[in-house]
Amino acid sequence: MNGPAPAAPGAFISSLESCFALPLNEITSIVRSFHEEMDRGLSGQSSSLKMLPSFVDVPRGTEKGSFLALDLGGTNVRVLAVELDGRRNATVPAVSTFAVPPGDMEGTGAALFDFIARCIDSFLTEHTIDRNNLYDLAFTFSFPVAQKDIASGALIAWTKGFTARGVQGEDVAGLLRTALKRNSISCINVTALTNDTVGTLAAGSYLDPACDMGVILGTGTNGCYREKSSNIKILNGYVSDEYMIVNLEWGNFATLKRTGYDMHLDEASVNEGSMFLEKMVSGMYLGEMTRLVLIDMIQRELIFLNDPDATEHFSTKNSLKTEHMSLIQGDQTTELSKTDRYLKSMGVTSSTLPDRLLLSHLCGIVSSRAAAISAAVVSAVLTWLDPALEERHTVAVDGALFEGYAGFEAAMTETFTLLHGNNADNIKLMKCKDGSGRGAAIVAAVTASKQ
């Protein structure tokens, strides 16, 4: 697997730390390369960053009214009602969640969108929403989409297990409108199509006018920011507001130092040769990365020496998950008893305290690199906007990795300080839960205010 060569535990860990470390010169190199990719992407040149225009700007904070949001981001559909008071306060008085049947995920597009329309119908009935009124709805569709305006976009390719036929290449907002009509739901006006990252920025900037960046750090990762429309050359003269949110799609950023473990993980993935940043940062992959290193350590006889079957306990791909890493790294009990219980659940019944400490340290090595890369690309975007970081910038962040992983935010902050010194104080990371819901409704409000 081309991991560190030394066999002694201390020497191995020291070498592992070097493999995963991101010293200042490498972080600044990431920032520089990221700027180059941003420039190419905005100009329509080949780039690992898609730099997709969203055709919407951030809210002013004065938007007011009742709006609906529809969120299809995975195996669930959520429908929400959101109230905006015009004074930067957003509340969610009603929400319903529906599991997408596997048959609809894998069947026809018409069946899938009919199911979504029925979810909206059930939501309206459950919450006794007056159907005599017309409601603006924003559709959060967290799959790769090529947008031509705020209210339409064609699916590039399904991900996350969806294979519904007749959707790829079609306008998904149009398919939703047709399904609503087919199901006799006439009180819904689909005014906006967005993704969870743009929604997170919209939600954050509605609360805080200094928010100019949205970030997802969860199962996947992505970022967006507010760009001058004149800098987005791929718009080809599209007349819009002075600023527009740009969806970076940064999971595919490729200019990163990769270890042998990274290469092994990539080779075993369903999308080999792509999404390099996401594979180093996101919750979908961190646990698997840690498992690969752990298997190497077991085979080198550096850990779990009392268990001859330790390799078998961790032999299944993705059997060690990111939430397990967080539990292990956050274990503050005297004997690391929470870690011991986890290991016993995996079949390791005779771990020692040094074993558990070593496993915790391994989780820290992998998660610290993820946090450092996350901070590096956030810094790249902010210094693109403000090279000397002279102004205050709020970054709205959504996702379970950022919200729930022990020490992740603190590790990002350390990297900001390493890069920017005292000016790191101008970066504020703001937890912005449910950007794909509340934020989408705010996008609908912004769109409605311009009609």
Catalytic residues: 160, 196
Give the burial string for 301-321 (b: 16+ CB within 10 Å, else e).
ebbbeebeebeebbeeeeebb
d(CA 52, CA 42): 8
What phi and psi, each to the nearest 5 degrees, are found at residue 244?
-150, 145
Give the burial string for 355-375 (b: 16+ CB within 10 Å, else e).
bbebbbebbbbbbbbbbbbbb
d(CA 411, CA 392): 20
d(CA 426, CA 218): 24
Give 278's strand partners: none
Contact by Cβ (8 Å): 256, 250? no
Please enumerate in sequence order all residues whose Cβ is within 8 A of that of 395, keeping only pairs 6 or more positions apart, or say none: 204, 211, 213, 214, 215, 378, 382, 427, 428, 429, 430
- How many Cα atoms occupy the beta-carbon half-sphere of 73 within 13 Å? 22
d(CA 140, CA 137): 10
- If you search the block for the tokens 């794909």, which residue do you land on? 436
Neighbours of 299 (CB within 10 A): 12
Residue 41, amino acid: G
User: Is 139 strand, coil or helix?
Assistant: strand
Q: In this structure, are strands 76-85 and 90-99 parallel, antiparallel, or unpaired? A: antiparallel
- How many Cα atoms occupy the beta-carbon half-sphere of 290 within 13 Å? 31
Alpha-carbon separation of residue 445 from 63, 80, 229, 246 (angstroms): 6, 14, 20, 18
d(CA 429, CA 413): 9
Is the dihedral angle over the CA atoms 142, 145, 147, 152 positive or is it negative? negative
d(CA 362, CA 364): 5
